[in-house]
């Protein structure tokens, strides 16, 4: 359960946090997503934030944490990341390498746009924990 911290796991240099999401970025491959309830989608934000916070506890100093969704919804993406940065000053955002080739960069966070390279829609943010 990614929403519960387990001290037995230790710390890591790199962690991928691919949280449960609405899937709005892959709707062309899974058209049934359009029938999801807006209430169900809104309930995801708290879980996504909780998982991001718990996952961040496993990151070593100078380690990296990649937050990812297959959604284009800012409430699941940039808003979660901005809240995380406000409440976790020991982290900062890193540039997504070559991100501008795949979508839109906003405050170092990448939203992969399906029409850029005929891909699905995704979101990627790279956090780094400050070192000593």
Along the 132 residues of the chain, how does pLDDT read in single tens digits? 898 999 999 999 999 999 999 999 999 888 898 888 888 888 899 999 999 999 999 999 999 999 999 999 999 999 999 999 999 999 999 999 988 888 999 999 999 988 888 899 999 999 999 986
Query: Is 70 marked active-site?
Result: yes
- Residues in Cβ contact with 48 at an 8 Å cutoff, skipping those fewer than 6 apart: 19, 20, 21, 69, 76, 80
pTM above 0.85, yes or no: yes
Out of 17, 21, 53, 70, the active site residue is 70
User: How many C-beta atoms lie closer than 10 Å to residue 16's C-beta?
Assistant: 11
User: How many C-beta atoms lie closer than 10 Å to residue 68's C-beta?
Assistant: 18
Query: 103 is written with which tokens?
Result: 């979508």
Nearest in space to 23 (alpha carbons), one of 114, 126, 115 = 114
State residue 41's pLDDT score: 86
């Amino acid at each position: 359960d990614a929403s519960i911290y387990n001290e037995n796991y230790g710390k890591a240099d790199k962690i991928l946090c691919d949280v449960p999401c609405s899937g709005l970025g892959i709707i062309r491959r899974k058209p049934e997503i359009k029938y999801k309830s807006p209430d169900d989608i809104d309930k995801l934000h708290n879980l996504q934030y909780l998982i991001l916070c718990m996952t961040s506890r496993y990151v070593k100093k100078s380690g990296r944490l990649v937050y990812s969704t297959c959604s284009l919804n800012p409430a699941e993406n940039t808003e979660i990341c901005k809240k995380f940065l406000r409440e976790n000053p020991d982290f900062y955002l890193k540039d997504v390498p070559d991100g501008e080739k795949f979508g839109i960069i906003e405050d170092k966070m990448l939203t992969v746009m399906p029409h850029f390279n005929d891909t699905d829609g995704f979101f990627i943010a790279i956090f780094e924990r400050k070192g000593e």
